[in-house]
């Protein structure tokens, strides 16, 4: 016991000296272990902050960034200094520093192993975090291309909210991630815990490109937990262009959980807006603007209804004409068949008549031959009688 106590006392000055050298002085002769622990944590956090500042400095070239990054990063003590390595990966992703990720991988950092060791689930360590940041799509595409092979088995899985990569890409409006998610086999009609497909989220987001990618491939009749289809979502966000696209694709106008079709929903929204009055001129102006938008949406639905009725009538006319044409064809077939049968009967009758005539002719011929034979016999008999008479 005394040896252990002596060893502990000898270690204190060594720890004191190391902390002083690294800019974390401990007050007092032996210092306070609690404050030392706090200072060490502050030191590590400070290094993380400096690394993040370097990562987010967009003015640095790739070479300058890597030089400052590697200078600040203690690769030998990377694991012990930073403990939770995902935090470093997070802000490298956040600032699009693909070169740093490649550098760390070259230095032996196993990103796949890092994911497996992380307590957080799918997308939260890498892919999901990637979609939460704001940098150009080509940069995101480059990073996903780099990370994709490492996480090829994770693309089609969902997070705890049921969101797939396609949901997240649609929500933030990232076309490149949307295309990559589809290429990696993510189900375009997959629904999250709120019953939303990626198209539901693309409809309510600001991305026109993602919406255009999804709208022609997704089942437009899928309803979320409120019973809303993408068409009802388009009405709720007052998006004329997306509503028109859905109308052009003849999206089904299904009732939601409130028994509202898209038209019913729009009527309800119009009624609320028409009855809303505000003393604030700015609020009233906003309300009037929204009312105009709703009127435009209603006009679109009315035009679609008129067009739908016109198309229905045109369809009825086309079907009627097709039926008449079919009846005429059937009549022609019946007439042709009747003529064919009559011709066949006539041919058969002619054949029978010819055969009967032939038989009758043959019969007459036979009778003539018989008569001639009898006449010849009679003539012979007559000659014999005459001969006898002459004698």
Q: Per-residue pLDDT for 296 more than 90?
A: no
Report the pLDDT value the prediction gives residue 218, as an integer from 0 to 100.
94
Average pLDDT over residues 143-156: 71
Burial category of 52 from C-beta neighbours within 10 Å (exposed 0-12, middle 13-18, buried 19 and up): middle
Q: Per-residue pLDDT for 18 more than 70?
A: no
Average pLDDT over residues 64-84: 61
CATH 1.25.40.20 intervals, the chain? 134-219
For residue range 313-364, list pLDDT tens digits in order. 888 888 888 999 999 999 999 999 999 999 999 999 999 998 888 889 899 8
Q: What does the DSSP 8-state code read for residue 161?
A: T
Q: Per-residue pLDDT for 198 more than 90?
A: yes
d(CA 167, CA 173): 10
Report the pLDDT value the prediction gives residue 386, as an integer from 0 to 100.
84
Mean pLDDT of the chain: 76
Q: Per-residue pLDDT for 15 more than 70?
A: no
Report the pLDDT value the prediction gives residue 153, as an integer from 0 to 100.
67
d(CA 100, CA 25): 32
* Beta-carbon contacts of residue 244 (< 8 Å; ≥ 6 apart): 300
Report the pLDDT value the prediction gives residue 128, as an integer from 0 to 100.
59
For residue range 214-232, list pLDDT tens digits in order. 999 999 999 999 999 999 9
**CATH code for the structural domain at 134-219:** 1.25.40.20
d(CA 253, CA 23): 68
Report the pLDDT value the prediction gives residue 260, as an integer from 0 to 100.
92
Lowest mean pLDDT among 30-34, 93-97, 309-313: 30-34
Q: Per-residue pLDDT for 92 more than 50?
A: yes
Global pTM value: 0.58
For residue range 38-70, list pLDDT tens digits in order. 444 555 566 667 776 776 676 777 677 777 777
Average pLDDT over residues 246-266: 91
């Amino acid at each position: 016991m005394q040896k252990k106590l002596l060893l502990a006392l000898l270690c204190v000055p060594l720890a004191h000296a190391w902390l002083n050298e690294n800019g974390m002085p401990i007050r007092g002769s032996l210092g306070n272990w609690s404050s030392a622990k706090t200072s060490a944590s502050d030191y590590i956090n400070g290094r993380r902050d400096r690394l993040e500042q370097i990562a987010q400095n967009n003015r640095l070239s790739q070479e300058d960034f890597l030089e400052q990054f590697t200078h600040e990063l203690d690769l030998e003590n990377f694991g012990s200094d930073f403990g939770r390595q995902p935090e470093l990966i997070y802000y490298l992703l956040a600032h699009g520093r693909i070169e740093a990720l490649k550098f760390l991988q070259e230095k032996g950092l196993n990103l796949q192993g890092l994911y497996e060791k992380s307590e957080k689930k799918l997308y939260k360590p890498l892919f999901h975090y990637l979609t939460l940041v704001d940098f150009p799509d080509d940069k995101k595409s480059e990073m996903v291309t780099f990370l994709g092979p490492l996480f090829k088995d994770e693309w089609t899985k969902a997070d705890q909210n049921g969101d797939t990569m396609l949901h997240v890409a649609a929500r933030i409006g990232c076309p490149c991630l949307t295309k990559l998610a589809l290429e990696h086999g993510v189900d375009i009609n997959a629904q999250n815990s709120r019953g939303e497909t990626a198209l539901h989220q693309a409809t309510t987001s600001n991305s026109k490109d993602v919406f255009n990618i999804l709208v022609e491939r997704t089942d437009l009749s899928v309803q979320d937990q409120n019973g809303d289809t993408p068409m009802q979502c388009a009405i709720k966000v007052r998006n004329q262009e997306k509503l028109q696209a859905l109308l052009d694709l003849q999206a089904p106008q299904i009732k939601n959980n409130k028994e509202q079709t898209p038209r019913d929903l729009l009527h309800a929204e119009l009624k609320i807006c028409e009855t809303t009055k505000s003393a604030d001129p700015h609020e009233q102006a906003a309300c009037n603007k929204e009312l105009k938008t709703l009127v435009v949406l209603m006009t679109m639905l009315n035009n679609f209804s008129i067009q739908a009725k016109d198309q229905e009538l045109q369809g009825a006319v086309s079907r009627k004409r097709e039926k008449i044409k079919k009846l005429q064809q059937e009549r022609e077939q019946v007439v042709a068949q009747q003529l064919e049968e009559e011709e066949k009967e006539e041919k058969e009758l002619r054949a029978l008549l010819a055969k009967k005539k032939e038989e009758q002719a043959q019969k007459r011929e036979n009778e003539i031959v018989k008569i001639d034979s009898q006449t010849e016999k009679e003539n012979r008999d007559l000659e014999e009688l005459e001969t006898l008479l002459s004698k």
